[in-house]
Structure 1
Amino acid sequence: MRSPASGPQSVDRALEILDAVADAPGPLGAKALARRLGCSLSTVYHLLGPLTARGHLVRTGDGYAPGPRVAVLHRSFQRHLGLGPHLAELLPRLRRATGAEAYVTAYRDGRIVMLDSTVPVTDSEHPFVPGPETRAHATAHGKVLLAALPRAARRRYLAEYGMARFTDRTITGAERFEAEVERVRGRGYAVSVGEADPAYTCLAAALPEQGADGVVHALSLSLPTADFRRRHGELRAALVRTARHLPPAG
């Protein structure tokens, strides 16, 4: 697995605070942050000051929560990875047409990240949400993105992030995964039936080349596996048709 790079201690501590607040289900107080980071309360307050002043955090009556600057950074991140209006507007249309949640995911420079989805932000239990994707070998969007890479780059990715077993269906062997990649290339789409989450199936297709900076995109759908077994032909056709006719970003 990729481990975070270390830097000046104050920078690392500030980033740890941001990560802790982002991962928490609600606001965190300074004392709770000090306990999580294993440092003094004075150190936490020293770092909370500039983080709050710059808008990365806000102080509420219950503690510290993500601030408005986070939304700006998120939009900038999406833009740099090619999430233009042509993709962002496509997701709700695909959701309405299929009744399944829709996603767009990107690969660049050895990382896979889900850029956007139709999953409500209040649904904290859904297994597929925007953010870094470390289960690429077990998800349909991860499979199509890895299938677009040369074998050496794919092997490097899998060696770095690992092939953890999430369910009894998860592919955890490199050679078996290469066989799956060949099936994905032959079909033009990928399917993950309960490989990342036992209750969900996802389907994905790679999108046309979106730019010259090495970014590859995938469009995907997810739904409960019971629904997929009943509607797989219809969903697969809608996904592949949409992905193949999506014009490259201009």
Structure 2
Amino acid sequence: MSGPQSVDRALAVLDAVADAPGPLSAKALARRVGCSLSTVYHLLGPLTARGYVVRGPRGYGPGPRVPALHRAVRRHLDAGAEVAALLPQLRRATGGEAYFTAYRDGRITVVDTTAPLADTAHPFPPGPETRAHATAHGKALLAGLERGARRRYLADHGMARFTERTITDEERFEAELSVVRDRGLAVSVGEADPAYTCLAVPLPHLPGRALSVSLPLEAFRRRRDETGTLLTLAAASLAAAR
């Protein structure tokens, strides 16, 4: 095995290790990736040598190189020291988890968050955002694109229904984004997860970037206007710091 297929399978192994709730044996990885055990061992060799995975007594898990990749992503997507300091402040002020999100090359990514990394039940973890049309940060970022780019994004990623509130009609979604542009604030009330609401503001000084906060529905009902104001002020303070 060589060339692109080898690369693709190596990345599939890395994805399987990353997505698993705990260590995986080589046999389990072979089943998940859909290849032979000997192929998995062939792929695990360089992944382990380079520090992308580690082997423990219960199987393979993410290696020490992975946090360095996350730091590199944050650096390349402008999530520097100012953002790292601002997100905890925003969390304390709003009582909700805070996020820094980016659009680049046709993908939306949750780059940084105050939500505990061990909280696997949290609905907006770091990484690729596959529900952008149903989230406030996705709406804030998509609203800033030209319509052609937005249509390509929706064609590539779809508009799946996650709850009864999810907008799945493109024209209705366009109307929603028009409101986002007018207000400078995006809101998603139980559209991606029925128990959560999120609010987001774009960062004009950082095109393709957004700040957002998620709250349980009850907290949102009590603090909607206040949270939106705090987000706007946070975006302004970040712009001033740049």
Any idea what the Cα deviations from partners look like across 1:74-104, whole Å, max 9, x if unmatched? Answer: 1111111111111111000111111110000
User: For the Cα contact (< 8 Å) 1:21–1:65, is it kept in 2?
Assistant: yes
* Structure 2 equivalent of residue 54 of structure 1: 50
Q: Kindly provide the amino acid, as one letter, of the partner of residue 68 in structure 2.
A: V
Runs of 4+ in 1 over 3 A off after TM superposition: none
1:41 partner letter = L
State which of 86, 90, 114 in structure 1 corresponds to 2:86: 90
Instruction: Please list, as runs of the form range in 1=range in 2, the aligned pairs for 1:142-153 lying within 5 A after superposition.
Output: 142-153=138-149
Q: CA deviation at 1:48?
A: 0.8
CA contact (8 A) 1:147 1:181 kept: yes
Counterpart residue number, 1:45: 41
Q: For residue 239 of structure 1, what is the aligned residue in structure 2?
A: 231
SS at match of 1:112: strand
Alignment of 1:27-46 (within 5 A): 27-46=23-42
| CA distance in structure 1 between the partners assigned to 2:238 and 2:56 by the alignment | 43
> What is the DSSP-based 3-state SS (H/G/I as helix, E as strand, rest coil) of the residue aligned with 1:238?
helix
Q: For the structure 1 residues 178 and 74, does the alpha-carbon distance in structure 2 shift closer, same or farther, using more than 3 Å as the test?
A: same
**CA distances 1:186-235 after superposition (whole Å, capped 9, x unpaired):** 1110100000000000000011323xxxx511000001011101111111
2:177 maps to which of 172, 178, 181 = 181
**Equivalent residue for 1:18?**
14
Q: CA deviation at 1:246?
A: 2.0
- Alignment of 1:68 with 2:61, yes or no, is no
Aligned Cα root-mean-square deviation (Å): 1.2
- Cα displacement (A) at 1:248: 6.3
Distance in 1 separating the partners of 2:214 and 2:204? 21
Within the candidate set 105, 108, 118, 2:104 is matched to 108
Instruction: Tell me, in whole angstroms, the C-alpha distance in 2 between the residues paired with 1:47 and 1:92.
Output: 39
Residue equivalent to 1:218: 210
* Aligned match of 2:220: 228
Q: Partner letter of residue 178 of structure 2?
A: E
> What one-letter code is carried by the residue in structure 2 that aligns with 1:67?
G
- Report if the CA contact (8 A) 1:30-1:44 is conserved: yes
Q: Which of 30-39 and 221-230 deviates more? A: 30-39
> Is 1:165–1:171's contact at 8 Å kept on the other side of the alignment?
yes
Give unpaired runs (5+ residues) of structure 2: none
**In structure 1, distance between residues paired with 2:111 and 2:35:** 33
Tell me the equivalent position of 1:4.
Answer: none
Matched-pair contact (CA < 8 Å) for 1:83–1:115: yes
Structure 2 counterpart SS, 1:21: helix
Structure 1 unaligned spans of 5+: 1-6
TM-score in terms of structure 1 length: 0.93
Q: Deviation of residue 249 (structure 1)?
A: 7.1
Amino acid at match of 1:240: T
What secondary structure is seen at the aligned counterpart in 1 of 2:177?
A: helix
**Alignment-derived partner of residue 3 in structure 1:** none
How many residues are matched? 240
3-state SS of the aligned residue for 2:12?
helix
